[in-house]
Structure 1
Amino acid sequence: MALALVVGAGAGAGSVVFRWCITTFTRLLSGHADYAASPGTGNPHVPWLGPYFVLLAPVIGGLLYGPLVNRFAKEARGHGVPEVMLAVAQRGGRISPKVAVVKTLASALCIGSGGSVGREGPIVQIGSALGSTLGLLTKVTEGRMKLLVACGAAGGIAATFNAPLAGVFFAMELILGAFSAEAFGATVLASVTASVIGRAAFGDVAFLTLPAFHVGHIAQYGLFALLGIIAAVVGVGFARVLYLIEDACDWLWRGPEWLRPAVGGLALGLVLFALPEMYGVGYPVLEKATEGGYAVGFLLLLLVGKVLATSLTIGIGGSGGVFAPSLFVGATLGAAYGAGVHHLMPATAGSVGAYSLVGMGAVFAGASRAPITAVVILFELTGEYSIILPLMLAIALATAVSHLLTRDTIYTLKLRRRGIDLEGPAPGARIGAQPVGSVMDPLPSPLPASTELADAADVLSLSGYGALPVVDASGRYVGVVTAQVIAEALAEQPDAVPATVGQLAEPPARITTDQPLAQALHALLSAAGTGVPVLDPAHDRPVGWLSPQSALRAVHAAA
């Protein structure tokens, strides 16, 4: 808990420094605190250039952060969150301390010079690097190291966006990928500490200022549901375009990597000149879209422009997050959709701004598949509770449709393109790639579902297993019963005890003979008892038994 407090304080201070750097570099390179608030104007530092300065700003920024990233911390390139996820999943939570410094400067320079990216990815990586560094200094266990990394991510999100709850759920849903009482307590402590520091520096106000919305007609729920489905397609499409343009930049570039952001900045400058609203993060434009300040055609142009500008910024080697761009894309999509349905059904459609807000959460959920984070963060960023029901509906549908469309999120796709599967073995690991069928033990004799509990207890006590498969009268597999479950049942009141093991059997996570061992280990570790049955993928019947001992024997086979 003490370490979580320290990490939270460090992440809070880091977010203050990071936002100050962004504002400073934006003022230096554009002459404005946020150029997106006054697009198309000139830079007062070089008034003779007029609006044409945006052609040079990304080039100057690239000349500064390109060599910095290439020389000191290549992992600071890109949007940051995938690198933190990888560190937690396969590197024991170890992140180089220099990442915090390099990421702060590189992302601030990138955003300040016009990079159309967000600041959530950088602050997550900065906070996580601080947590990992503290863990290394105090020599904590690997489990605690990962938890400190998550605390840093939670604190960074909480302080930067004044969203303490969202920071907690972002850390557990995306970084740790699991929920536990210890993780929740530690991340809450770090998040609250960072939020106190952030509020002292930035004030205790909602991050976005939006008008009040409400649902005035029950038919609107159907419209919000349809928006959620469309948003899922757009979110998945955003991820695909992002990496398609990155591939194109990789294919085109043949020079030194340190020069790539500067040369690529010429292309980004052309996009900014054509659509100056894309300069930087773009929250003023997002707010105006939710308020109905743009025509439908221009909203769709902003949507396409943001996808292109963000993808190009990342593709040329820029440093920044994709969370804010996904909110921007969702806001413009929702506003355009809302304006359209309002034109078709003016009596029932309701406020355009409500669709914009729901679109923000749904596109982020479709791209990241983090529905809890999407709901909470939209509520905290806007302070708007009245739209929570349609928001939850659209986000749930967007997440489900995203699952149907692709196996990857906007974060995991970056890693999979590099040949990294977060659920698979780390490169060079001695076990993990083997199929389960090659390491499993013979299947123990199953218990008939009609076996009485006392008899089942005798069998389990003599079997050497902490769990046994259960089959019904026709020999069909129905699940597994553990010694713990039977002991707990026998300790209850006699009239409350089930009569047979069939009433207690539950199927564990599905493991098949052709599944990689690394994936099966996750199910094995979370299962009760001392092992789990292995199923024939063609018939879903148990053919073997996987235990920790059989998994470890794979080390001998690999040696």
Structure 2
Amino acid sequence: MTAPAWRRCRLGAFSTMWERHPGDWGVHLPRGALCALSREVLESAAGAVYAPCAERQIHAQGLLGRRSAPMTSDSPSSTVGTARPHHASLLDRLTSPFWTSETAVMMAGALLVGLLAGLGIVVFRRTVDLATVLCQERGLEAAGGGRWYLLLLPALGGLAVGLWVHALKPQGPGQGVAGIMESLAFHGGRVDLRGSIARIVGAVITLGSGGSAGPEDPSVQLGAAVGSQVGRAFQLSEGRVRTLVACGAAAALAAAFKAPLSGVFFAVEILLGEFSATSVSYIVVAAVAGAAASQAFLGSSPAFAVPQYELRSARELLSYFVLGCAAALVGVAYTRLLYWTEQSFEDWRFPGWLKPAIGGLAVGAIAFLGRPEVMGDGYATLGATLRSPSADVLLLLLLVVAKLVATTLTIGSGGQGGLFAPSLFLGAMLGLALGRLANAFFPAFSAPPAAYGMVAMGAVLASAVRAPIVAFLLPFEMTNDYRIILPLMLAVVTSLVVARWLERESVYTIKLKAHGIDPAAQRDVNIMRAITVGEAMAREYPTVTPATTLEALGELFHRTGHHGFPVLDEEGDLLGIVTLQDFDRVTAAGNTEGTVENIYVRDPITTFPDETLEEAVRRLGARDIGRAPVVDRQNPRRLLGVLSASDISRAYGRVLAQRTELRQRMARARAGLDGEAEFVEIEIPAGAPAVGKRIQDLALPRECVLVSITRRGRTVIPRGGTVLRPGDVATAFVAPSCRPAMERALAGRRNGEGT
């Protein structure tokens, strides 16, 4: 006896869907395990398990306004949700294969996002250039070249930015790359369009009026907003929206720097934080499209021209090692000073819309005192200095200090702009200074100072943003000169190692971590890691004995629809497992006599109830197994239950629904609190009032949402019935005014106690 024909048909259909769209199920398995697990998933009779995926299949067909006919139980294609109206037009029939293909839809989306982001960068850069010419060059001419104009211009620009941002009141995550990292980690890739417009226009004002910042972060904000809006317009899943956000950011950076490779790895290293071949292919398409669109209007010449360079001697590498150490110090100082300045302005009891004006006034004072090079993005000064590095060492080091102070004051006070360009400026001036020293002390084997400047640009960037591959590639792409790659790699790695030893966080993550936001940890919150085998397994499951006849076994397969059963001895101890494949292999030869004793698999792969589903699935996938007995870790022959792919799918869907509801609660809480809520982490000590209690029994404030619980290195999705234990670290989204009450409920602290 074999599986009924109707089951075989459904198996093939769903196996195809699983192979093509494993991400919809959230189960990231080795390729060989997909087919076995997808077959087992079909055995579940609960249609709700399949409904979300089927709905997405229908939804994918209607991305451009078309909708499939409703599925019916008697439709041959209802199982996979591909039924189409009988009156479909010829155009629909021709384009249907395209729009039902995930790869085709995502490639088209990535291409569209890349082109729109590239064109947006052209408009943004032209607008910034126009504002710079009008405010700085023409304005200075109209003021008769008076230095008082340099003093007042950044302050007036800061005042305009403060009023503009105050009027629009952007909601959601903060500005620039840090805000996008938070959006990707906690908000499903939703980048607020209104907030993005407010920050991009604010960046134009800041840069045009001489504020010390860069255009790259606003460019990334623009690209990410385009990706988010396109994904939401197509009504794609959150995972695909996040991919399109990364595509937009990569395209924007590629267009801004004329560096498509750097754009790709920026999205992978900093934003996504993980490598996926499928996602990277879409990001590459977007980056190429963005760079091409930008170069069509802005040209393709390299950003900087440096003298020809070659490594004269291996002894010169020692100079680049010292350069890497110095770059780490500058990058860490940049990170810490920026964070300190931002916190100081946040804590200052002063009207928020006036704070950027104060920062701008300080920048103007630096320019008034003789260092106007700190104004704007600094690219003009940087390029001219690299072409003819005639400044002395003290002046170059003074520019490093002046630019460091001016940038932290501009961004820390609330000015809008990016951190990439100042990093490059700091690196270039530092490298030129050390290059001149190297040429003075070791003229026989030292490269021109400009080469040191280019290498230091990458080294400071690496220590500030913690993206070594981007730091490798960006100077190379900006100069089209591969000859600096060896010293660049040494300096970047040295800088990165020293910077991590001095400061764990990057210039983007230090503020997020201070507010309890950890994008890296959130990326690691794989739902499969948050569910244990004991939570997902089936505790009541049919079993057989070695004496069970093959005829009885076949009837059991037919009646239950399962594909395997544990084999127990007379005392109920586990002996092995018998599968439908074992049964088919014997009965296909016409042998219907005999017992399970002759065909079952002894010493099967087992799992333990305290394992995570991720651990179990990896082990099962390596053997292409669709189900496994769950046994007691202390007594491996004691059967506790059975874990199958249908159990995995049900558990995943249940927790995914809870996480979706949790995200919606967070969004409502943020909206209700007018953006004043923050993420906090609270460790629950032994003896705390919450220990041993269920979350639903705690007197938590209404303005508090528990996001996750970290327990012994494992992230737990909190539920109402979750019992808290000593040592748990609760991450919560809470209004500042309610934080003391939450701390008392969880950890027993009183206001002002603890950290």
TM-score class normalised by the smaller sequence: 0.7 to 0.9
Aligned to 1:258: 353
Structure-2 separation of matches of 1:101 and 1:552 = 34
Question: Displacement, 1:255?
Answer: 2.8
| 2:605 is aligned with 1:461 | yes
Counterpart residue number, 1:267: 362
For 2:117, the equivalent position in structure 1 comes to 11
Which residue does the alignment assign to 1:556?
A: 721
Q: 1:357 matched to which residue of 2? A: 454
C-alpha deviation, 1:263, in angstroms: 3.5
Q: Which residue of 1 aligns with 2:287?
A: 191
Determine the structure 2 residue equivalent to 1:319.
416
Q: Structure 2: how far apart are the matches of 1:484 and 1:138?
A: 33
Partner of residue 100, structure 1: 196
Q: Which residue in 2 is equivalent to 1:127?
A: 223
Give the residue type in structure 1 aligned to 2:265. Answer: F
Cα gap change, 1:77 to 1:176, in 2 (>3 Å): closer
Q: Contact (CA 8 Å) 1:214, 1:354: kept in 2 or not? A: no
| Helix, strand or coil at the partner of 1:557 | coil
Q: Counterpart in 2 of 1:70? A: 166
Question: How many Å separate the matches in 2 of 1:76 and 1:343?
Answer: 52
Rate the CA distance shift 1:375–1:249 in 2: closer, same or farther, 3 A: same
Assess, with a 3 A threshold, how the Cα gap between structure 1 residues 343 and 424 changes in structure 2: closer, same or farther: same
Post-superposition CA distance 1:276-329 (Å, at most 9, x none): 011101112212333422100000000000100000101221011111101111
- 1:110 Cα shift? 0.1
- The separation in 2 between residues aligned to 1:93 and 1:141, in whole angstroms, is 10
Asked if structure 2 preserves the Cα contact closer than 8 Å seen for 1:466 and 1:483, the reply is: no
Give the aligned residue type for 1:409.
S
Determine if contact 1:213/1:353 at 8 Å carries over to the other structure: no
Q: Cα deviations across residues 518-548 of structure 1 (Å, max 9, x unaligned)?
A: xxx9xxxxxxxxxxxxxxxxxxxxxxx9999
Offset at residue 467 of structure 1 (A): 8.5
Write out aligned runs for 1:429-508 (5 A).
458-463=602-607, 482-485=619-622
Q: 2:159 matched to 1:50?
A: no
For residue 164 of structure 1, what is the amino acid of its counterpart? Answer: P
Letter in 2 for 1:317: G
Deviations 1:105-140 (A, max 9, x none): 110110110111111111001110111111111111
Structure 1 residue 61 and structure 2 residue 205: aligned? no
1:102-121 to structure 2, matched below 5 A, reads 102-121=198-217
Separation (CA, whole Å) in 2 of partners of 1:120 and 1:353: 23
Distance (Å, rounded) in 2 between the aligned partners of 1:152 and 1:327: 22
Distance 1:216 1:66, change over 3 A: same
Task: Judge conservation of contact 2:200–2:221 (CA < 8 Å) in 1.
Answer: no
CA pair 298-4 structure 1, distance change in 2 beyond 3 A: same
- Cα distance in 2 for partners of 1:307, 1:553 equals 43
Deviation at 1:151, TM superposition (A): 0.7
Aligned to 1:396: 493
Q: How many angstroms does 1:466 deviate by?
A: 12
1:370 CA drift (Å):
0.2
1:477 corresponds to: none
Rounded to whole Å, the distance in 2 between the matches of 1:101 and 1:146 is 19
CA distance in 2, matches of 1:211, 1:151: 34
| Counterpart in the other structure of 2:436 | 339
Q: Do 1:69 and 1:76's aligned partners in 2 also have CA atoms closer than 8 Å?
A: no
Cα contact 1:158–1:195 (8 A) shared by 2:
yes
Structure-2 residue corresponding to 1:223: 319
CA separation of 1:156 and 1:463: change in aligned 2, threshold 3 A: closer
Q: Shift of residue 152 of structure 1? A: 0.8
Offset, 1:79: 5.6
Q: 2:302 aligns with which of 206, 213, 229?
A: 206
Greater relative contact order (Cα 8 A, min sep 6): structure 1 or 2?
Answer: 1
SS state of the match for residue 56, structure 1?
helix
SS of the counterpart of 2:473?
helix
**Equivalent pair of 1:99/1:129 in contact (CA under 8 Å):** no
- Select between 374-383 and 242-251 the one with higher mean Cα deviation: 242-251
Alignment partner, residue 108 of structure 2? 2
Q: How far 1:51 sits from its partner (Å)?
A: 2.5
Flag the structure with larger Rg. Answer: 2
- Alpha carbons 1:440, 1:546 under 8 Å: kept: no
| TM-score (norm: length of structure 1) | 0.76
Distance in 2 of aligned mates of 1:74 and 1:29: 26
Aligned amino acid, residue 407 of structure 2: T
Q: Given residue 160 of structure 1, which amino acid in structure 2 is its aligned partner?
A: A
Residue 347 and residue 555 in structure 1: after superposition, are their counterparts in 2 closer, same or farther (change >3 A)? farther
| d(CA) in 1 for partners of 2:717, 2:146 | 67
| 1:156 corresponds to | 252
Deviates more, 1:348-357 or 1:359-368: 348-357
Q: Post-superposition shift, 1:28?
A: 1.8
Distance in 2 of aligned mates of 1:74 and 1:220? 50
Structure 1 position 551, deviation (Å): 4.5
Shift of 1:552: 5.7
1:154–1:145 CA distance, 2 compared to 1 (3 A): same
For 1:411 and 1:107, the matched residues in 2 are separated by 17
Q: Any idea what the Cα deviations from partners look like across 1:437-495, whole Å, max 9, x if unmatched?
A: xx999xxxxxxxxxxxxxxx843435578999xxxxxxxxxxx993444569xxxxxxx
Cα distance between partner residues in 2 of 1:370 and 1:333: 19
Question: What is the CA-CA distance between 1:387 and the residue it aligns to?
Answer: 0.7
In 2, the alpha carbon distance for the partners of 1:44 and 1:104 equals 27
Q: Which residue does the alignment assign to 1:495?
A: none
> Could you say which residue in structure 1 is the equivalent of 2:516?
419
| Alpha-carbon displacement from aligned partner over 1:174-216 (angstroms, at most 9, x marks no partner) | 1111111111111111111111110011001111222222211
Aligned with 1:324: secondary structure?
Answer: helix
- Counterpart contact for 1:78–1:317, Cα < 8 Å: no
1:379 to 2:501 alignment: no
Which residue number in structure 2 is paired with residue 504 of structure 1? none
The root-mean-square deviation of aligned C-alpha atoms, in Å, is 3.6
Distance 2:172 2:716 in 1: 36
Residue 105 of structure 1 aligns with an amino acid whose one-letter code is V
Corresponding residue of 1:537: none
Instruction: Give the AA of the match of 1:161.
Output: F
**More displaced, 305-314 or 264-273?**
264-273
The 3 A distance-change label for structure 1 pair 382 and 557 is same
* Distance (Å, rounded) in 1 between the aligned partners of 2:401 and 2:164: 31
SS at match of 2:398: helix
Per the TM alignment, residue 218 of structure 1 is displaced from its structure 2 partner at its CA by 1.2
C-alpha separation in 2, matches of 1:104 and 1:167 = 19
What is the alpha-carbon distance in structure 2 between the residues aligned to residue 193 and residue 306 of structure 1?
Answer: 34
Residues 348-381 of structure 1 deviation map (CA, whole Å, 9 limit, x = unaligned): 2222111111111001001111000111111111
Preserved contact between residue 189 and residue 242 of structure 2 (Cα < 8 Å): yes
8 Å contact 2:355–2:413 — kept in the other structure? yes
Structure-1 residue corresponding to 2:238: 142
Number of residue pairs aligned between Structure 1 and Structure 2: 467
Task: Check 1:405–1:547 CA distance in 2 against 1; reply closer, same or farther (3 A cut).
Answer: closer
Q: Aligned match of 2:465 in 368, 374, 392?
A: 368
1:373-411 Cα offsets, whole Å, 9 max, x none, are 111111111111111111111111211222222221111
Q: Which residue of 2 aligns with 1:533?
A: none
Residues 134/347 of structure 1: CA separation in 2 closer, same or farther (3 Å cut):
same
1:290-309 paired onto structure 2 within 5 Å: 290=386, 291-309=388-406
Q: In the alignment, which of 171, 174, 177 is matched to residue 81 of structure 1?
A: 177
- Describe how 1:31-50 pairs up with structure 2 within 5 A: 31=137, 43-47=140-144, 50=146
> Which amino acid in the other structure matches residue 263 of structure 2?
G
Q: Secondary structure at the match of 2:722?
A: helix
Letter of the structure 1 residue corresponding to residue 442 of structure 2: M
